[in-house]
Structure 1
Amino acid sequence: MGSRWSVARRRQAWRTSHALLLLPVLLVVAITVAAIGSPPDVHVGPTLVIAPALTPSLAGARATALVGALAVAAQVVIGVFHGGLMNANHLVQIVTLVLLSVLVTVYAALRDRRRLQLAQVRSVAEAAQHVLMWPLPEQIGPLRIASLYLAAEDEAQIGGDLYAVTHAGGQVRVLIGDVRGKGLAAIGEAALLLSSFRESAHRDISLPELAAVLEQSVTRYAADMDSPEEAGERFATALLIEIPDLDQITRMTSCGHPPPLLLSPGHAVTVPSLHPSPPLGVHGTPASEHTLDVFSFEPGDTLLLYTDGVIEARDARHRFYPLTDRVAQWTDASPESLIHHVRRDLMTHAGGRLGDDAALIALHRTASVHRQHHGILGHGGVRAGDVPGLPGL
């Protein structure tokens, strides 16, 4: 479907560009007719420079050269009808038009080369994005998913924010994180966290233990890559979510990452209680010191995960984006519509440009089998192993 749409858009763009190319051609014809029919003391021919000067904004270097040649030919025809080609005035006009046509053709060629290089960079960025951050499925387990990634750097599609989702053992595990830095400079560490999560998320370990695995990966990476001057400067925030297929009890562990928002029908937005540990790579936090928080994620609810690039986006008056207040009006929206509304509202708030990478994931619970737990429902933080018999710990 996407490829067909891309081909259709290319065909439409090709037709539009060729239709616009008629404008300078018609302009040359009109100026030539007007010049031939004008009195000898009225010099309309110099206005032919408009046609080759206009063409680079409508077409490429080859079309610009053709229009320039057509304009020069038209100037020659005008000279024949008005005093001959040996007339000094006509010779100056012809030479000037040739020089201008050559200059605009060179300019168009350089611009086309730059566009080709930019297209190649975008292609590489798209390929890297798909390799590093696999597109999230629209449906996984009991969840409908929609996601958004906004890179702060121009022409970049990936950066320091990251997310991943996996389904194994009757539960969905989600990672959303943010490494220090932004744009292309942060890709290496983001790739490290993603690969570490994908490798370990299927193991039968608790979220605090999974956080400890990610901690070890960041620590090893920093030891191998950092210079003595950069020691302690490499870190990342991460939020791990575990959502059972057949249970409303949802678990999460935060490593310095902002809490998610729980959207319930009827414009209700709550923030599940979260007790974050330090970011990954700061203190080498062991699994026993990572807090496990639990809350109820019921059918019909939507869980919105985000990075700090969203809530730290500023408007012209340097006010932060009020995500919690804004999403309250879209609690009944589908994940796709919710992400669409937030993106449009966020970019409007930030004036069309973000100062940091931003990522969003909307998880909508479609169905769940109700299972009873004694004293587990509600919001609150617990240490790993503090709740006897809690599945998955």
Structure 2
Amino acid sequence: MAAVAFIDLLNGPTLGFLSLLTLGPTFASVSGSVRRTALVGGIALALSVPLAAYNHMLGRTQNYVILTTIVAITGASMLASRLRIERERELANVRLVAEAAQRVLLRPVPRQAGNMRIALSYTSAAAEAQIGGDLYEVATTPQGVRLLIGDVQGKGLDAVETAAWVLGAFREAAYDKEELPAVADQMETSIIRHLSGEKFVTAILAEVRHDTVSLINWGHPAPLVLRRDGTVHVAEPPEEAVPIGLTTFEQTRPKPYEVPFADGDQILFYTDGVIEARDGGGAFYPLGERTGLLRSEDPQAALECLRADLLQHVGGPLEDDAAMLLLRR
């Protein structure tokens, strides 16, 4: 408004810029309170009087129209400011609920379990969201450390609801069953009852015992095993299996397999949001070529470095949720 007054004085009384004073209360409603918007509108009215006298407009119909316009826009801006503040309060409450849901659904994983150190990275595709269709869990049971990582088909609240169901099935079965295949069977039975239509879930169920990792893979990207000597290989299952929800036939059910896991070794679990992330030219993220970033002494710092490299490769927000779970023995 000061700029409008200065320009008006600079150009002389021939050109009137009084109507531009309405920009004051208009912009005030964007970030200010109702009282502040009203105050700015009052300042606009106060400025319009000497400027009208300078432009020889006092007592003219045009000046009354301008004053009425300032009053009307100030009133509308006050209403807009009140509505904005109410929406901000509602959004703040929704975020509190979302944070509570995140703590229940995706609980913080333990940073150490037995003789292993664990690191986690989760990036939601939605900038406003903290949870999505990717899921993970680590449970220390009498049978050993068991973990789950998965990806629910679809996005939005439906995917979050299905992810909650999958995690609930794992948390119950992981402690009840002694053998890993029994855990997988109970999970499948529970999850399939919940899934409807063409929904499905890709997942890896793992159990760490002694110097091996037992894996059951439902059509999920195979984890990477990083040996202490620097070699890297993909822990592919002996037979391909379909995701949970598509296991109609017995022969499609996944079979457990074991991978050596000695002192100093690492194993990286991840969802397809990592390997399917593309740069501006459409090239996929070369995860296998970036494993050197995981050699840091601190596993969490190493995983954060890998996540930063992933985001730099994409050059913007991810199109799909991306979860990574790193185990170091």
TM range (shorter): 0.7 to 0.9
Q: CA RMSD in A?
A: 3.1
183-192 vs 265-274, which deviates more? 265-274
Report whether the alignment pairs 1:202 with 2:175: yes
Q: CA deviation at 1:318?
A: 2.7
Give the equivalent residue in structure 1 for 2:323: 359
- Asked if 1:340 is matched to 2:313, the reply is no
Q: 1:260 to 1:72 in 2, by over 3 A?
A: same
Pick from 22, 27, 31 the counterpart of residue 54 of structure 1.
27
The separation in 2 between residues aligned to 1:144 and 1:351, in whole angstroms, is 30
Q: Letter of the aligned partner of 2:208 in structure 1?
A: I
1:251 to 2:214 alignment? yes
Which residue in 1 is equivalent to 2:159?
186
Of 275-284 and 44-53, more deviation after overlay is shown by 44-53
Residue 201 of structure 2 is aligned to residue 236 of structure 1: yes
Question: 1:270 aligns to what?
Answer: 233
Deviation at 1:313, TM superposition (A): 2.0
Q: Tell me if 1:260 matches 2:233.
A: no
The 5 A counterparts of 1:64-79 are 64-79=37-52
Deviates more, 1:35-44 or 1:58-67: 35-44
User: What is the CA distance between 1:132 and its match in structure 2?
Assistant: 1.7
Q: For residue 286 of structure 2, what is the aligned residue in structure 1?
A: 322
Shift of 1:294: 1.7
- Does residue 302 (structure 1) correspond to residue 266 (structure 2)? The answer is yes
Secondary structure of 1:259 counterpart: coil
Contact 1:263–1:328 under 8 Å retained in 2: no
Deviation at 1:157, TM superposition (A): 2.5
Q: Structure 1 length normalisation: TM-score? A: 0.72
Q: Distance in 2 between matches of 1:35 and 1:314?
A: 52
In structure 2, what residue type is equivalent to 1:313?
A: A
CA offset digits 1:79-121 (Å, max 9, x no partner) = 4677585244432332232233333333333433333333333
Structure-to-structure mapping, 1:83-162, within 5 angstroms: 85-153=58-126, 155-162=128-135
Task: Write the letter of the residue equivalent to 1:101.
Answer: T
Q: 1:347 to 1:60 in 2, by over 3 A?
A: farther
- In structure 2, what is the Cα distance between the partners aligned to 1:265 and 1:63? 63
For residues 110 and 261 of structure 1, the distance between their equivalents in structure 2, rounded to whole angstroms, comes to 51
SS in 2 for 1:178: strand
Change (3 A) 1:178 1:34: closer
8 Å CA contact 2:247–2:253 kept in 1: the answer is no
- TM-aligned CA distance change 1:95 to 1:268, over 3 Å: farther
Q: Which moved more, 1:165-174 or 1:320-329?
A: 320-329
What is the aligned length? 328
User: Do the aligned partners of 2:118 and 2:325 also contact (CA within 8 Å) in 1?
Assistant: yes
- Unmatched runs of 5 consecutive residues or more in structure 1: 1-26, 366-393
Q: Could you tell me how far 1:46 is from its partner in structure 2?
A: 4.5
CA distance in 2, matches of 1:186, 1:288: 24
Q: Following the alignment from structure 1 to structure 2, what is the Cα–Cα distance between the partners of residues 193 and 324?
A: 28
| 314 and 33 in structure 1: CA distance in 2 versus 1, 3 angstrom threshold | closer
One-letter code of the match for 2:225? Answer: L
How far is 1:45 from its partner? 4.4
Deviation per residue, 1:247-267 (Å, 9 max, x gap): 222221212111111234575
Counterparts in 2 of 1:202 and 1:122: CA distance versus 1, 3 Å: same
Deviation at 1:192, TM superposition (A): 1.6
Q: What is the CA-CA distance between 1:304 and the residue it aligns to?
A: 1.3
- Structure 2: 5+ residue runs without aligned partners? none
AA aligned opposite 1:254: N
Distance 2:133 2:71 in 1: 50
CA–CA separation in structure 1 for the residues paired with 2:164 and 2:14: 72
Percent same amino acid at aligned positions?
38
Does the 8 Å contact 1:309/1:357 carry over to 2? yes
Instruction: Indicate the larger mover: 319-328 or 171-180.
Output: 319-328
